[in-house]
A and B are shown apart, each in its own frame.
Chain A
Amino acid sequence: MSSTTNTSQHHTSTIGAIGTPSRRNTELALLVFSVVIPVFAYVNVGLAIDDKVPTGLLSYGLGLGLIAGVGHVVVRKFAPYADPLLLPLATLLNGVGLVVIWRLDQSKRLQLRSTFVEAAPRQLLYSALGVALFVAVLVLLKDHRILQRYTYISMAGAIVLLVLPLVPGLGVDIFGARIWIKIPGLGTVQPGEFAKIALAIFFAGYLMVKRDALALASRRFMGLYLPRGRDLGPIIVVWIISILILVFETDLGTSLLFFGMFIIMLYVATERTSWIVFGLLMSAAGAVGVASFETHVQQRVEAWLDPMNEYLLSQKGVPGHTEQSMQALWAFGSGGTLGTGLGQGNSDLIGFAANSDFILATFGEELGLAGVMAILLLYGLIVERGVRTALAARDPFGKLLAIGLSGAFALQVFVVAGGVMGLIPLTGMTMPFLAYGGSSVIANWALIGILLRISDTARRPAPAPAPNPDAEMTQVVRP
């Protein structure tokens, strides 16, 4: 039976596939909003800054419309039963992100910086590339279970991606963190964003195979199932890799993200709470241990505990200190409940990385508490759709991959937004879709593509059971 069969042809079956609506029209309707809202925001910024409708409105509107349209058509064709919310959510975040990046391009203060480049046109290009990758995932990846074959290739790929920034001549150190590589002519790439997906595939494939061993072969001790010594191997390897990332790339965020993702997937695979306890203990020990000798990490923690002092030190010109954290807090505070309105804030005072790592602060100042809460809830919805996909998935590999990707997504949002808002120490990662950065936007479009593929498989009507010779005889109800 092909997947396109519908129930009407099978009314003879008592357990015939339940008619799952494809929800593609819902998605289309939502997508209209996802394009119209950023276009309005774009006009709003233009009116606020130059008192006129921005000249690029048509190309911007068409660009975003095209991204959404192509995405939708491909989903309709290649993943008709996929979740209807993910694409509109990603498009909306990508769209408003573009608007705010363009708004920061108009900032005279940022234009004076020596490193200034017009970011919005590039980001539009990256978004297009991201959607192209999204399309490629949906077209080429007919079934997510194919990825299972590439478990160990993914692992190798992830490790290469993670090590790249450490290669001399290739890696670049930006504000203390070595998580970028420089490709001549193309700019910088953050391989960690792609490693996130590769690692999720590896963990899902690996844990699916090993989960029984990890879950069952254990001793009970004080209400906890203690894993056998030899089963501790994988978690220790991942832990060591995370620590190495922290030490050599001095990036707390990436390290936390990978380890957190692994713990989540391990817990889901084994259903053993003891893994979470182990994971928390190990990450705490690792973080404290590294912080005891790594000055960069110590500085980040101090800046988090006393951002004002960090600001004053940076104003005095003490090297290694940055005013960004305090500037971001001021931006949030100055925005208040409703914000200053797009284009009317001074979040550009943050200076470096105002349109990437710190982009949320611009939302905070110009759209206020209301705007940031809306953005956070949009992220929450993406995660919720991801978890729902995991719940709906019928195969363990799909479940693990979906929860790994959505868990990592949630952790990343938490780590970045929490860092910018001063809830946790700041780390060098970007808000998915919102922030300026090619790697991030491309990788996250691929992530959404994979989730859509899993959800399409999950929500697709089950193929009708093989024709039963006795079917006619047991038939009792006929419409």
Chain B
Amino acid sequence: MNKPLRRIAIFCGLLVFALLVRDNWLQYVRADDLKDDPLNRRVAIERYATPRGDIIVDGKSITGSSTSNSSDFEYKRTYKDGPMWAPVTGYASQAFGATQLESIDDGILTGNDDRLFFRNTLDMITGKKKQGGNVVTTLNAAAQKAAYDGLKGRGKGAVAAIDPSTGAILALASFPSYDPSVFAGNSQADAEAWQKLQKKANPDEPMLNRALRDIYPPGSTFKVVTAAAALESGLYTDADEKTDSPLPYTLPDTTTELKNEGTIPCKNATMRVALQWSCNTVFGKMGVDVGKDKMLEEAKKFGFNSEQFVPVRSSASNFPEKMDKPQTALSSIGQFETATTPLQMAMVASAIANDGKLMKPYMVDKLQAPNLDVLEQTEPEEMSQPLSSKNAQTLQSMMETVVKDGTGKKAQISGVTVGGKTGTAQHGVDNSEKPYAWFISYAKLADGSSPVAVAVVVQDEEAIRDNISGGGLAAPIAKSVMEAVINSKQ
């Protein structure tokens, strides 16, 4: 009987061996996947086990932590002026996870980042409780407030403002917005508040970050990109050179006439005049003359057709890659399939204001350890050069005329040179929906430096259709944002 006994012994050994192998697979090979699985509640438990580090604007925290009475979580995230800052912070909720900065820099905020490992180990030895680090943003509180207050009560809209010389994001506002505090916890009330904010229950989509994650047809504001392409391609070299622009202008290969808004002096107008009055005919034809390839190339240099990471991801703006000539004409005046995030248009304005150099946009200045040591400092970085310094200055003078004498008069600031461009973008089937009012601009100080470029988009449900124009609705918001930045610099 001993031979089968020995075989059974081997069989039992194999059973134990199989368990050992499986255990190694689970606890060694797959350990990290399982440990960091966002559905694994330990991730959230860990996130709220210590007071979370703060997100900081202008030296003050816009977030906080309070003790939580939940059985799983010791602390709960709190927000100051939650709706205003939500597009910057995102949210960190015990029940619903974390997004945007709260998610991207979670390691720093919870104190679990590898860079804090040594410090944590020391703390463990000395018996100190683990602490989270801080995320210091580039945002400007006054500009953000101006942007949010400007949007508030205007229906839907968004503002993005950038420091052209560095790419630092100064304002990032979206309206309607939400207060991340209301669902930061894990209770029934939190769940109800969350449900109310979802698209299903709330068609206004308050949780949509319009500044980064929604794309809108840019309308006439896109004409500055077309102008940049014309200058760069050498089609025209001077702002005051007559363009070859017939009126009426029939779209190539069609019998459709491209219309201007009202009776404006567009026939063979100079680029300056055409931009001043926002001539569709001039820029439509200009796009066709530059050609779709060079238009696309220029748009891409400004950042179109790729996602931006600031470090929060922004949607890719779109300039169509395949189109025929009439479509090229429409795309060149910001219609057809051209669509952009507010951030993208702020990047366009900032590149022009920065003499042609586009700086990579970013909103995290530095990451700090709990003792305020800097763990990571973001250095400004050049992303591309969409146009030469000379052409940039030509475009600046044109945009400054728009504000001085054209459609953008409402953005004028005394003592400051402002360049801008209005836009009114129709959308919906047969333009059935209310248009978007756009305004992009930059401010230039007496010393020639430009501290801010801004893009504003507003869709006002209440406004009468005819009254919607970038100059009327969006320009005042852009103005107050620029003023806030200039005042805070002084």
Contact = CB atoms under 8 A, between A and B. Distances in A.
**A and B pair up:** yes
Contacts of A418: 18-19, 22
A377 B20 CA distance: 9
B117 to A, nearest CB: 15
B16 A391 contact: no
A376 B27 contact: no
Interface string A354-383: 000000000010001100110011011001
Contacts of B118: none
A420 B2 CA distance: 33
A332 interface: yes
B34 interface: yes
A85 interface: no
A137 to B, nearest CB: 23
B5 A414 contact: no
B19 A421 contact: yes
Interface residues of A, number: 50
A329 interface: yes
B25 to A, nearest CB: 9
Interface stretch (A28-36, A263-271, A456-464): A263-271
A372 B23 contact: yes
A346 interface: yes
B18 A403 contact: no
A333 B19 CA distance: 15
Contacts of A268: 1, 4-5, 8
B15 A414 contact: yes
B23 A403 contact: no
B96 to A, nearest CB: 13
Contacts of A337: 27-28, 31
A218 B315 CA distance: 76
A384 B18 CA distance: 16
A377 B16 contact: yes
A423 B4 contact: no
B35 interface: yes
| Max chain A Cβ within 10 angstroms of own Cβ: one of B12, B31, B35, B40 | B12
Contacts of A368: 27
Contacts of B13: 380, 384
Given A330-B37, A337-B27, A410-B12, A391 B5 contact: yes
Given A268-B8, A330-B37, A421 B22 contact: yes
A478 interface: no
A336 B31 contact: yes
A272 to B, nearest CB: 9
A300 to B, nearest CB: 17
Contact of B72 (A109, A334, A422): A109
A458 to B, nearest CB: 13
Nearest to A417: B19
A414 B39 CA distance: 28
Given A332-B34, A333-B34, A337-B31, A422 B16 contact: no
Interface string A112-128: 10000000000000000
B41 interface: yes
Contacts of A400: 1
A325 to B, nearest CB: 12
A411 B15 contact: yes
B71 interface: yes
A384 B9 contact: yes
Contacts of A267: 4, 7-8
B16 to A, nearest CB: 4
Interface string B25-48: 011101111110101111001000
Contacts of A308: 39
B386 to A, nearest CB: 46
A399 B30 CA distance: 41
Interface string A265-291: 001110100000000000000000000
B15 A334 contact: no
B60 interface: no
A333 B72 contact: no
Given A396-B1, A417-B19, A369 B28 contact: yes
Interface in B30-81: 30-35, 37, 39-42, 45, 71-72
B3 interface: yes
Contact of A271 (B3, B12, B18, B23): B3
B24 interface: yes
B280 to A, nearest CB: 52
A400 B42 CA distance: 47
Contact of B16 (A329, A334, A410): A410
A376 B19 contact: yes
A443 to B, nearest CB: 19
A248 interface: no
A429 B334 CA distance: 68
A87 interface: no
Interface in B89-122: none
A336 B41 CA distance: 16
Contact of A406 (B1, B12, B30, B32): B12
Contacts of B41: 330, 346, 349
A428 to B, nearest CB: 18
Contacts of B16: 376-377, 379-380, 383, 410, 413-414
Contact of A421 (B2, B3, B26, B39): B26
B8 A333 contact: no
A108 interface: yes
Interface in A206-220: none
A407 interface: yes
Contact of B35 (A109, A336, A423): A336
Contact of B71 (A109, A335, A417): A109
Contacts of A332: 23, 26-27, 31, 34
A346 B15 contact: no
A413 B15 contact: yes
A401 to B, nearest CB: 12
Contacts of B7: 267
B28 A334 contact: no
Contacts of A390: 5
Given A334-B40, A377-B16, A406-B12, A112 B23 contact: no
A387 interface: yes
B1 to A, nearest CB: 5
A311 interface: yes
A411 to B, nearest CB: 7
Nearest to B9: A387
Interface string B205-221: 00000000000000000
B33 A333 contact: yes
Contacts of A391: 2, 5-6, 9
Interface in A303-330: 308, 311, 326, 329-330
A414 B19 contact: yes
Contacts of A373: 20, 23-24
B40 to A, nearest CB: 4
A346 B43 CA distance: 11
A377 B13 CA distance: 10
11 contacts: A329-B34, A330-B37, A330-B42, A335-B27, A346-B42, A346-B45, A376-B20, A390-B5, A396-B1, A422-B22, A422-B26
Given A330-B34, A336-B31, A399-B5, 11 more contacts: A264-B11, A268-B1, A269-B1, A330-B35, A330-B37, A333-B32, A335-B27, A336-B35, A349-B41, A376-B16, A414-B15
Interface of B: 1-9, 11-13, 15-16, 18-20, 22-24, 26-28, 30-35, 37, 39-42, 45, 71-72
